[in-house]
A and B are shown apart, each in its own frame.
Chain A
Amino acid sequence: MKGNVYFRRYWQLYALLVLPLAYFIVFKYGPMWGVQIAFKDFNFFQGITGSEWIGFDAFREVFRMDDFYRTLRNTIVLNLLDLLVSFPAPLILAILLYEMKVVWFKKLSQTILYIPHFISWVIIGGIVYQVFGTQSGMINNVLTTLGFQAIPFLTDKNDWVLTYLLTGVWQSAGWGTILYLAALTGINRELFEAAEVDGAGRLKRIWYITIPGMKTTIATLLIINLGNMITIGFDRPYVIGNVAVRDYSDVLSTFVYRIGMESGQYTLATVVGLFQAVVGLIFVLGANYASKKLTDESIM
């Protein structure tokens, strides 16, 4: 009887949950079940269950591929460089915005700086070709007018990395300030007043009050970023990369797409995807553990 009362009271809640749970089971756990094709000689006609088991053969093949190590290296190197360049940008921008006294200009700046975050990588790709193109790009036009050599931003490997990094800063710096500014609103204004009385200048106040006020946020974001070292989005390297710079622009996500969707080697592509998922999971869990230890704040 007790159970009956419980369900009479709560059946509506369970009814609400039916569809969402069905979604998770079909569209999230379905692909997890499908991961078994990494261990099968998959072909579409026999389907997942019909295909033959091959054990770790596909893994051995992947670990013998030069492309695999190249894309793994590119993923980690691009992520590390990106962290180096893109991590400090929002931090500095947030401090500047926080120090700004003209409220209307501060608000306007924030509105504008957030915009690139909402622009797709395909569109950014379109903009990149117009801005960085060798023949008619904006930057090179200015450079050649001033008598300098044009820089092959899109076709030279090393210059391409620069393009990749700059677009990352442009896209994410403004949006990244949100969390820091949120952390800064928690700072007690009296600290600033006290420091002023003690004769601390603006720079000193930034160093001793503003930056420590963001410490936890900085640490947490840094750890999250490190945890994502092996994860990399598909759109950005795929759209900005091209054949000429493939040695540097081909990363795990584009590699999986290329061998899976373009060459139809589903088993090998699944193996690479699984490798990325498992190693990524280890990184993320490690980062979460480190975060708990260091900042008393876990990501999850």
Chain B
Amino acid sequence: MSERTANRTFDIVTTVLVAVAVLLCLAPFIHILSISFSSNRAITSGEVTLFPVEFNLQAYGKVFADMSMIRSLGFTVLLTVITTVLSMLMTIIAAYPLTKKNLKGRKTMMFIIVVTMFFSGGIIPEYILVRDLHLLNNMWSLILPGLISPFYLIILISFFNGIPESLGEAAEIDGTSQFGTLIRIVLPLSLPVLATLSLFYGVGRWNGFQDTLMYIQNPDLFPLQLKLYQMIQNNMVSELTRLEGASGARITPEGLKAASVIFATVPILLVYPWLQRYFVSGVMVGAVKG
């Protein structure tokens, strides 16, 4: 085999392997999409694998007719937007002062922040705190406790540190306030990392589950993840009862469940491509140095 053919073979093999990985990555999504578009009969008889069988939109019809589902989506969007905006604001106003090397007390403040990355009180003291603040069954219980991620804060600090200090100093000589420097010079230069962190905060809130399980009992305030979990849990019960030959579990039809999963996934998939080009560089900033 000449070197040229060896090279070609190698290229083909790598491409095929990556293609297989991509297909394995997509297959579950395609399957669930097909389920959501198939008839109940075809789903229960196990005919659906990668293509819809007896195509129909019944499941989506039901999802969109279910007002509690729409309300839950609306609430989750609102929650995600508020969380992202507030988290970014807080992270920015914390990061900027901490980049000033001559700020008195900077080291102490950094220490106070970094400690929280390694040690936490745990979920029970957190629950008791949220309860004592009367935030149970309140949207703010899902926003306030995780407002600033110390990890993202440190990513932002190291990004700000990469911006030449002379730029800020020049502005200061021209009479710009610290606040003005932050808004007019630092932030415009930080758009990629700001977009990345917004995506991470947003996705984190959108996907967050444990806190919703702990803090929210009122069905009117169920975010999508909690609603979905209950549907899936019903299905698990059915799987177990079938095994034991018992019955009685309320089973959510597979199609409806699949449609709900798609319903909760699409919003993320819509924002993701817009932000993807940023986050690769954003992640690298974080990887360089904590």
Residues of A bordering B, CB below 8 Å: 6, 10, 12-14, 16-17, 19-21, 23-35, 37, 44, 47-48, 93, 96-97, 99-102, 105-106, 108-109, 111-116, 118-123, 125-127, 129-131, 133-136, 138, 141-142, 144-145, 152, 154-155, 170, 173-174, 178-179, 182, 201-203, 234-235, 238-239, 242-244, 256-257, 260-261, 266, 269-270, 273-274, 276-277, 281, 284-285, 298-300
Contact = CB atoms under 8 A, between A and B. Distances in A.
A24, A203, A298 pick with most chain B CB within 10 angstroms: A24
B239 A119 contact: no
Contacts, number: 282
Nearest to B182: A16
Given A16-B96, A106-B18, A257-B210, 15 more contacts: A24-B113, A102-B15, A120-B264, A126-B257, A127-B29, A130-B258, A131-B31, A136-B46, A141-B49, A144-B46, A170-B28, A202-B10, A239-B229, A266-B124, A277-B119
B187 to A, nearest CB: 13
Contacts of A93: 18, 21
B122 A274 contact: yes
Contacts of A274: 122
18 contacts: A10-B100, A17-B93, A20-B148, A35-B122, A96-B21, A113-B25, A118-B207, A118-B272, A119-B265, A125-B232, A126-B231, A135-B46, A135-B242, A170-B24, A173-B21, A182-B287, A234-B209, A273-B122
Contact of A270 (B31, B114, B125, B226): B125
Band of interface residues on B: 35 or more
B85 to A, nearest CB: 14
Interface of B: 3, 6-7, 10-11, 14-15, 17-19, 21-22, 24-26, 28-29, 31-32, 35, 43-44, 46-49, 90-91, 93-94, 96-98, 100, 103-104, 109, 112-114, 116-129, 131-132, 144-145, 147-148, 177-179, 203, 206-210, 213-214, 225-226, 228-229, 231-232, 235-236, 239-240, 242-243, 254, 257-258, 260-261, 264-265, 268-269, 272-273, 276, 280, 283-284, 287, 290
Provide the main secondary structure of the chain B interface.
Answer: helix
Contact of A269 (B28, B124, B179): B124
A30 B121 contact: yes
B32 A127 contact: yes
B228 to A, nearest CB: 5
A118 B203 contact: yes
A217 to B, nearest CB: 8
B112 A21 contact: yes
Contacts of A13: 96-97, 100, 103, 178
B287 A179 contact: yes
Contacts of A30: 121, 125, 129
Contact of A16 (B35, B93, B148): B93
Nearest to A183: B287
Contacts of B35: 130
A22 to B, nearest CB: 10
Given A126-B231, A126-B257, A281-B119, A113 B21 contact: yes
Nearest to A220: B287
